[in-house]
Amino acid sequence: MSTPKALITGILGQDGAYLAQFLLEQGYHVYGLMRRYSNPTFENLQYLGIADEVEYVSGDMSDEASLLQIVKFTQPDEIYNLAAQSFVGSSWDQPRLTTEINGLGTLHLLNAMKIFAPYARFYQASTSEMFGGGSDENGEQTELTSFYPKSPYAISKLYAYWITVNFRESFGLYATNGILFNHESPLRGKEFVTRKISDGVARIKLGLQNELRLGNLDSKRDWGFAGDYVKAMWKMLQQEEGSDYILSTGESHSIREFLDIAFGYVGIEDWTPYVTTDPRFKRPAEVKTLQGKSDKARAQLNWEPEVSFEELVTMMVDADLQRLKSEPTS
Ligand code: NAP
Ligand code: G4F
């Protein structure tokens, strides 16, 4: 049997790195789409020790010609569309760019697959942000909960969600949406609240920083571990046909709870003297609570998250402590 080929967009991001690692372990040849940078950072892939095992292809989600060329050249069996302007806060500052990359970029990639690799299987990185906090009577989100996007990011992702469904229904493509709730790891970008906290707590513990400035501490999120979630992305592409699945832990925790565990782990029981609320980190519209019900994925994909909330928080703080001890200027 020939080696299966996967194309991952967003290869340098958090999920791109974990997914590449998982697919390489399964025996895939992994193509990673990265955009041109004068000084690209392979930090995440290096952290996992796989930077030299991926074949990089140069393209940009906002450049349709590059995507047509890449799909024609790579002839992938599976396409994982993870590339995005993924930071909700920035989407108010750069709404058009966010829409072009996340929304139209997905259309371009699906179109490239339709023309040059219609046999391939497509995974779209959809998001719990599309719900905007709407829920069923139990306060949870399911695959049937109505969407009510509250940011330009969420709106761009809603377009991508529906164009994926549309290509499945219109052209018979195998196209799947993973509606993923927040998932974190030591590879999470430092602007996201979990990594901002784990990095800040580690710096405070090591005497490199004395304050952590945050926005709304009352938001609640359903936080899982990215390494668990990429396995289900792959499982979604091994089914009889494409469908849409929620991935979540089913638990929701506030940022205050995250702070309790993170500071507690380094021996600081009262974090209030270190944390300042800064209006710059508040959003024009907030998604207050997300808590997903992933029964469909658990039953059909035989998947469940393995890392608990407490394990996730301590894993992240631990990784930042180790990183800062070896590179205090990073
Ligand atoms: P991430 O770390 O921000 O990675 C996103 C990647 O997309 C980055 O490597 C970035 O490249 C790349 N990218 C951005 N614009 C691009 C463009 N124009 N052309 C090509 N590549 C581009 O995000 P993540 O946490 O891994 O998330 C992966 C996907 O899942 C995203 O689509 C995100 O919206 C979605 N999602 C994430 C979560 C979560 O909790 N993590 C939950 C639901 C959905 P550079 O490195 O060059 O900037
Ligand atoms: O960590 P966040 O920036 O993640 P957010 O907005 O939930 O988005 C992440 O998860 C989505 C899935 O639900 C993905 F689609 C998306 O790509 C991304 O990965 O913020 C989490 C919460 C928000 O309520 C925010 O207002 O934390 C609150 N928060 C409070 N202080 C802060 C801060 N967020 C950030 N980034 N920085 C703060 O200082």
What does the alpha-carbon distance between residue 232 and residue 157 come to, in Å, rounded to a whole number? 20
Which candidate, 66, 112, 104, 69, places its Cα nearest to that of 85? 104
Q: Specify whether 164 is catalytic.
A: no
Cα end-to-end span (Å), the chain: 45
Distances (CA, A) of 289 to 95, 160, 286: 23, 23, 9
What does the alpha-carbon distance between residue 261 and residue 312 come to, in Å, rounded to a whole number? 10
pLDDT tens digits, residue range 38-78?
Answer: 888 899 999 999 999 999 999 999 999 999 999 999 999 99
Nearest-CA residue for ligand 2 atom 21 is 193
Nearest-CA residue for ligand 2 atom 15 is 127
What does the alpha-carbon distance between residue 6 and residue 113 come to, in Å, rounded to a whole number? 13
Q: Which of 129, 140, 145, 184 is an active site residue?
A: 129
CB 87 within 8 A of CB 94: no
| DSSP annotation string for 118-150 | TTSEEEEEEEGGGGTT---TTS-B-TTSPP---
Per-residue tokens: 4:
């299966």
CB 154 within 8 A of CB 130: yes
**Mutate-to-test residue for ligand 1 from 9, 12, 14, 86, highest number of ligand atoms within 8 A of CB:** 86
Q: Specify whether 174 is catalytic.
A: no
Distances (CA, A) of 183 to 151, 195, 212, 248: 19, 11, 22, 8
Q: Which of 153, 161, 229, 245 is an active site residue?
A: 153
Relative to the CA of 216, which ligand 2 atom is closest?
30
**Long-range pairs for 42-47 at CB < 8 Å and ≥24 separation?**
42/12, 44/12, 44/13, 44/14, 44/16, 44/17, 44/187, 45/11, 45/12, 45/17, 45/20, 47/17, 47/186, 47/187
Q: Tens place of pLDDT for every residue, the chain, 330 residues?
A: 799 999 999 999 999 999 999 999 999 999 999 998 888 889 999 999 999 999 999 999 999 999 999 999 999 999 999 999 999 999 999 999 999 999 999 999 999 999 999 999 999 999 999 999 788 888 999 999 999 999 999 999 999 999 999 999 999 999 999 999 999 999 999 999 999 999 999 999 999 999 999 999 999 999 999 999 999 999 999 999 999 999 999 999 999 999 999 999 999 999 999 999 999 999 999 999 999 999 999 999 999 999 999 999 999 999 999 999 998 777
What does the alpha-carbon distance between residue 176 and residue 297 come to, in Å, rounded to a whole number? 12
Q: Which residues line ligand 1 (CB under 6 A)?
A: 9-10, 12-16, 35, 60-62, 82-86, 101, 125, 127, 180, 182-183, 189
Distances (CA, A) of 14 to 86, 116, 230, 287: 11, 28, 10, 22
Average pLDDT, the chain: 97
Using DSSP bridges, classify how beta strands 253-254 and 220-221 pair: parallel, antiparallel or unpaired: antiparallel
What does the alpha-carbon distance between residue 141 and residue 132 come to, in Å, rounded to a whole number? 10
